[in-house]
Amino acid sequence: AQSVTQLGSHVSVSEGALVLLRCNYSSSVPPYLFWYVQYPNQGLQLLLKYTSAATLVKGINGFEAEFKKSETSFHLTKPSAHMSDAAEYFCAVIRTDSWGKLQFGAGTQVVVTP
Amino acid sequence: EAGVAQSPRYKIIEKRQSVAFWCNPISGHATLYWYQQILGQGPKLLIQFQNNGVVDDSQLPKDRFSAERLKGVDSTLKIQPAKLEDSAVYLCASSLGGQGISEAFFGQGTRLTVV
């Protein structure tokens, strides 16, 4: 069985401050891990993905995430928040023995304040 | 490259009515997914097609939901009859397919409101 847990359903950050979104997974086999962003009334857009290569993954819009097997975590960070980062963020996992089935966390809503 | 197309974008129906959603995946993508996203939750997979065959429909409420993917391209998702708890955004996604890693591209979704 596998699951994805995102800590914090809502996060408020000041413009220019660090963005940190937490994601922990449980999987009996090595997973592939993803972060997606969803803007209001839009579909999901891939931010970055971990596919068993480098453990520090860089994505679009200045985001990056680090895979830590010992902590079963894949936290998303951005050094300096921008107003345009306000959105909902989803962590997701694919088992390596699956057919690309994405399992999502519950999501974290990010609010950026001036 | 054209993205995943979905229609309609919004739909309001009364409970017990039927509704259908349409999805056109990215050309050449063998795998097609339908996800249900209830407000405040992450998307949940309803059904996954590989070409025109079903790979996973374990989370599809088969007493009221049905889906098909004719000729391995477009897909329709139907709800009959709808319940209040079916109010959600229905997302279609597609990927190149095959086992393991393959990035899924999402459409903008259809927001269904059942009143």
* pLDDT, tens digit (0-9, with 9 covering 90-100), for B56-90: 999 999 999 999 998 889 999 999 999 999 999 99
Residues 6+ apart with CB under 8 A from B53: none
Instruction: Decide: B46 and B57 in contact? Cβ < 8 Å.
Output: yes
Instruction: Decide: A90 and A35 in contact? Cβ < 8 Å.
Output: yes
* pLDDT, tens digit (0-9, with 9 covering 90-100), for A25-42: 987 666 889 999 999 888
Instruction: Evaluate if residue B9 carries a pLDDT over 80.
Output: yes
Residue B47, CA distances (Å) to A102, B6, B35, B41, B92 in order: 11, 16, 7, 18, 10
B46: left (phi over 0), alpha (psi -120 to 50) or beta: alpha
Tell me the average pLDDT across A85-97.
87
d(CA B107, CA B115): 25
Identify the residue among A45, A57, A102 best suited for mutation to test binding to B, counting B beta carbons within 10 A and taking the highest. Answer: A102
Chain A residues near residue B101 by CB distance under 8 angstroms? 32, 49, 51, 94, 96, 100
By C-alpha distance, the chain B residue nearest A109 is B40
Specify the 3-state DSSP secondary structure of A4. Answer: strand
Q: Does A105 touch chain B (CB under 8 A)?
A: yes
